[in-house]
């Protein structure tokens, strides 16, 4: 019941909060600037868990010092921490797939230690929308995956139209959704353009299956049914657009092969394999016959990008990944409006969108509502623990190649293009009955929860600074500070709660930990510290992102 009550917190809709102000002075003297808003440490921690991979004390003090908007602005100035240069600096193994642990390693190092926390968190969110995965045809293409993630990181605060084009022409996406090598119709050889990317760009990356209002609600026809965004003819039209592209630098279209070099180079157009016929696109647009492949591609991406669904579609997806599983219609509408126009007449400005999401009144409401926030993804629960306890290894590496098995998630290791979980997932019971969703619960199976809980047990009790038999690549945490206060139950609980819960621990959890600590001799400082961390890190309170 405690778990159900905690998880049901994910299910509430927040009311939009509007602020107003005014001044009552005359024309002289000029109005004073608005007073700066003091940020509490609790608000700073809440922001950092939404906009990063775990709140360090230094990060908290930076938010308090700069203010929330100032911290966001500062983060957006940080250069992108990239993966491909690291992979290219390593000796080449006999088989390319042997570099996949190194790709995972540099992902963890970037999200744990790099200064561009917000950029890395938004890139991670985008990687769960514009999905490609190592698990499949890209298993032997680590350079392509690393560069693809770098594209997401570089464009995290760029324009969504530019990102759409880079993603479309990236060989990782070309291989994953079979646009690479797609060619014009040839009835004699029974060749028809592949429809995979044409369908998924619309369904999963931009507009969805049904027409949306600006607030994300579905548009209905005269019979009260949702209005489809596209039909088979439109899918075929886009499929014909995406013909003629393959690996760059190939001697011919048929002989094109992936290499270490062209894995990170946009696909190249072979005009003779592009269909130059007329093509039907969204909203009745018809591309004229005779255009080049580049002209068709630009017009088709513009056609998708300018569809009115893109604003609310991307708003919902990013809010869900960063802040809340169930944003109110008002929250969605405010963010979608910024996507449509950043205030300077620019559509698709992701920096403005991310800022609107994090600065909205619903992101950190002044009064805690029953269902604000979301369930933390397993990977974020791991990184938060690691950042809080200075995780490292004797080799300095984090080659957790089986992350997708251990945690149910890993960087670019989704089981399918539909991500680790659906944005529409609603478990049976209170959440579904309330017409709400909890996407992350889609992978919270009994097996996966047990595996993650067991992993946390091993991490806390075995992989820590007291273990003198660690292997070079064992990732271990350091709770020596907790050991130093382990004789004082309240001090120990408070220290762990500050690091992992932002100081917000329920009396129920505090009492459970206190009762357990009473059974452990004061001299067993390592066991006391480990037990306290384990109790917290496996609690519903830790799993819930406020």
Average of per-residue pLDDT across 271-298: 98
- Reported as a pLDDT band with limits 50, 70 and 90, residue 36 is low
Q: What is the pLDDT of residues 177-189, one digit of tens each?
A: 999 999 999 999 9
Rounded-to-integer distance, Cα 272 and Cα 540, Å: 58
d(CA 241, CA 285): 13
Which residue range is the domain that position 195 belongs to?
187-305
268-269 and 245-246: which strand pairing?
antiparallel
Specify whether 295 is located in the same domain as 378: no
Q: Assess contact for 437 and 426: CB atoms under 8 A.
A: yes
Per-residue pLDDT, 38: 87
Overall number of domains in the chain: 2
Sign of CA dihedral 317, 447, 387, 507: positive
Average pLDDT, the chain: 93
The confidence band for 20, taking pLDDT boundaries of 50, 70 and 90, is very low
H-run or E-run covering 245? strand 245-246
Q: How far apart are CA 50 and CA 443, in angstroms?
A: 20
pLDDT tens for 93-149 read 999 999 999 999 999 999 999 999 999 999 999 999 999 999 999 999 999 999 999
Question: Which of 274, 305, 336 is the last residue before a domain boundary?
Answer: 305
Place of tokens 């709660």: 497
Domain finish residue from 266, 289, 305 = 305
Q: How confident is the model at residue 17 (pLDDT cuts 50, 70, 90)?
A: very low
Q: Are residues 246 and 394 in the same domain?
A: no
**DSSP readout, 257-326?**
---TTGGGS--EE-GGGS--S-EE-GGG-EEPTT--HHHHHHHHHHHHHTSTTHHHHHHHHHHHHHT-SS
Q: Is 349 helix (H, G, I), strand (E, B) or coil?
A: strand
Does 415 share its domain with 286? Answer: no
Q: How confident is the model at residue 6 (pLDDT cuts 50, 70, 90)?
A: very low
Distance CA 482, CA 464 (A): 12
Residue-wise pLDDT tens digits, 258-273? 999 999 999 999 999 9
Q: Are strands 279-280 and 268-269 parallel, antiparallel or unpaired?
A: unpaired
* Across 371-399, average pLDDT: 96
**Residue at a domain's end among 270, 288, 305:** 305
Q: Are residues 289 and 413 in the same domain?
A: no
**Does the residue 17 lie in any domain?**
no
DSSP H or E stretch at residue 374: strand 374-375
């Amino acid at each position: 019941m405690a778990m159900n009550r905690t998880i049901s917190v994910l299910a509430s809709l927040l009311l939009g909060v509007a602020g107003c102000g005014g001044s009552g002075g005359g024309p002289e003297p000029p109005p004073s600037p608005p007073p700066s808003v003091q940020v509490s440490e609790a608000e700073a921690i809440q922001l950092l868990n939404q906009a990063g991979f775990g709140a360090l004390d230094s990060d908290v003090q930076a938010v308090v010092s700069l203010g929330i908007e100032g911290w966001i602005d500062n983060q957006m100035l940080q250069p992108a921490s990239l993966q491909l240069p690291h992979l290219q600096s390593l000796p080449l193994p006999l088989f390319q797939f042997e570099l996949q642990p190194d790709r995972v390693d540099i992902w963890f190092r970037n999200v744990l230690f790099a200064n561009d926390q917000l950029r890395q968190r938004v890139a991670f969110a985008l990687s769960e929308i514009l999905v490609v995965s190592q698990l499949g045809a890209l298993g032997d293409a680590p350079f392509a995956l690393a560069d693809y993630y770098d594209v997401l990181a570089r464009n995290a605060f760029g324009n969504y139209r530019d990102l759409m084009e880079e993603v479309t022409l990236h060989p990782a996406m070309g291989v994953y959704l079979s646009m690479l090598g797609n060619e014009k119709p040839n009835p004699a050889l029974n060749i028809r353009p592949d429809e995979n990317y044409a369908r998924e760009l619309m369904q999963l990356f931009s507009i969805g299956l049904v027409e949306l209002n600006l607030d994300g609600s579905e548009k209905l026809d005269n019979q009260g049914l949702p209005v489809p965004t596209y039909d088979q003819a439109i899918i075929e039209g886009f499929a014909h657009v995406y013909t003629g592209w393959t690996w760059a630098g190939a001697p011919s279209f048929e002989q094109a092969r992936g290499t270490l070099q062209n894995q990170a180079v946009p696909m190249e157009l072979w005009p003779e394999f592009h269909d130059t016929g007329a093509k039907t696109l969204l909203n009745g647009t018809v591309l004229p016959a005779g255009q080049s492949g580049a002209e068709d591609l630009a017009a088709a991406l513009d056609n998708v990008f300018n569809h009115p669904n893109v604003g609310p579609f991307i708003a919902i997806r990013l809010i869900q990944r960063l802040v809340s599983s169930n944003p109110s219609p008002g929250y969605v509408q405010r963010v979608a409006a910024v996507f449509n126009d950043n205030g300077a007449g620019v559509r698709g400005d992701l920096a403005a969108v991310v800022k609107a999401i994090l600065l909205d009144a619903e992101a950190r409401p002044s009064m805690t509502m029953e269902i604000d926030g979301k369930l933390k993804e397993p990977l974020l629960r791991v990184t938060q623990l690691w950042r809080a306890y200075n995780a490292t290894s004797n080799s300095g590496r984090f080659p957790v190649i089986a992350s997708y098995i251990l945690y149910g998630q890993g960087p670019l290791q989704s089981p399918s293009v539909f991500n680790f979980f659906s944005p529409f997932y609603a478990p049976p019971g209170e959440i579904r009955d309330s017409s709400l969703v909890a996407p992350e619960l889609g992978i919270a199976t009994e097996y996966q929860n047990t595996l993650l809980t067991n992993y946390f047990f091993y991490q806390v009790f075995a992989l820590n600074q007291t273990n003198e038999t660690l292997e070079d690549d064992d990732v271990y945490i350091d709770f020596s500070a907790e050991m130093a206060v382990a004789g004082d139950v309240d001090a120990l609980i408070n220290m762990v709660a500050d690091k992992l819960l932002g100081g917000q621990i329920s009396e129920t959890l505090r009492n459970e930990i206190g009762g357990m600590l009473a059974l452990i001799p004061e001299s067993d400082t390592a066991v006391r510290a480990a037990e306290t961390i384990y109790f917290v890190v496996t609690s519903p309170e830790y799993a819930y992102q406020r």
